[in-house]
């Protein structure tokens, strides 16, 4: 079994500091070039790695992520400071298919055609004793900067748009369905989320600093295949 939140969040926070919350947009890069140092590919131990490539789609460079019985994400150095103004997270995405056997309510079904993580720095002393214990253990095993909370926006196979569910792997990660079913397969869909409002709805208090964003997909539990495309991702003040 895997602790998806812990590993992905750990790797995103292990990226070299960029000093900016505006990494180069995919559209400014050349198709086929190596991903710039501002980005970091995230993988999971003992699980097949996804393939990441800059490709041309409709005349624009975008990120393509191919998953074949695998998992992985690309970490983006998008951050905010504590007490910063509310932010909008904006991006475009497209999928080749939805996953037949996925079910976000269960660990065996915890796969998605597309997902976008946002990691937050919640104060440790605000957590329950059980959550603090689990987090300390994760930080001892993995690294000292595993974050304390996350939102995960997903392209699901069956749950309705707007449906929310705590991750099957962690009660510190809220899953939020933005696209569902096959109606929009193969179409570019544009998203804009008020992450401060989504965080408050999930956790019940104001959002702390954002420590990173990661985009990707995963098919390691269901053993399926999917290709996902991501356009430019940005974090803007409202």
CB-based contact 26:63 (threshold 8 Å):
yes
CB-based contact 40:73 (threshold 8 Å):
no
What mean pLDDT, rounded, does the chain reach? 84
pLDDT confidence band for 147 (50 / 70 / 90): low
Number of domains making up the chain: 1
- On the question of pLDDT at 238 being above 50, the answer is yes
- In angstroms, the CA 15 to CA 40 distance is 7
Q: Which of 174, 172, 173 is nearest to 130 (CA)?
A: 172
Higher pLDDT, 105 or 125: 105
Average pLDDT over every residue of 30-44: 91
Q: Helix (H, G, I), strand (E, B), or coil: what is residue 116?
A: strand
Average pLDDT over every residue of 45-57: 94
- On the question of pLDDT at 89 being above 90, the answer is yes
Q: Helix (H, G, I), strand (E, B), or coil: what is residue 99?
A: coil
Average pLDDT over every residue of 224-231: 98
- On the question of pLDDT at 223 being above 50, the answer is yes
DSSP result, 20-46: -S-PPPGGGSPTTPPPPTT-EEE--TT
Segments forming the whole domain that contains residue 120: 4-237
Higher pLDDT, 130 or 15: 130
pLDDT confidence band for 5 (50 / 70 / 90): very low
pLDDT confidence band for 122 (50 / 70 / 90): low
- On the question of pLDDT at 141 being above 50, the answer is no
Lowest-confidence region among 12-21, 117-126, 189-198? 12-21
- 204: domain CATH number is 2.60.120
State both tokens at 85. Answer: 């103004």
Average pLDDT over every residue of 108-128: 80
């Amino acid at each position: 079994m895997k602790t998806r939140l812990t590993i992905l969040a750990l790797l995103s926070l292990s990226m070299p500091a960029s000093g900016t919350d505006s990494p180069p947009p995919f559209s400014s890069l050349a198709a086929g070039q190596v991903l710039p140092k501002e980005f970091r590919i995230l993988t999971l131990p003992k699980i097949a790695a996804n393939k990441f490539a800059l490709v041309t789609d409709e005349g624009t460079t975008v990120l393509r992520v191919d998953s074949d019985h695998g998992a992985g994400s690309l970490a983006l150095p998008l951050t905010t400071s504590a007490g910063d103004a509310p932010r909008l997270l904006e991006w475009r995405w497209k999928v080749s298919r939805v996953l037949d056997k996925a079910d976000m309510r269960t660990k065996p079904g915890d796969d998605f055609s597309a997902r976008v993580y946002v990691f937050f720095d919640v104060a440790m002393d605000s957590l329950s004793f059980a959550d603090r214990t689990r987090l300390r253990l994760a930080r001892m095993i993995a690294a000292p900067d595993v974050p304390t909370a996350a939102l995960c926006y997903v392209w699901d196979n069956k749950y309705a748009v707007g449906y929310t569910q705590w991750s099957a792997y962690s009660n510190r990660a809220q899953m939020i369905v933005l696209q569902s079913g096959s109606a929009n397969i193969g179409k570019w869909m544009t998203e804009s989320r008020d992450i401060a409002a989504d965080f408050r709805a999930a956790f019940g208090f104001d959002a702390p600093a954002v420590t990173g964003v990661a985009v990707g997909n995963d098919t390691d539990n269901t053993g399926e295949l999917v290709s996902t495309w991501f356009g430019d991702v940005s974090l803007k003040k409202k």
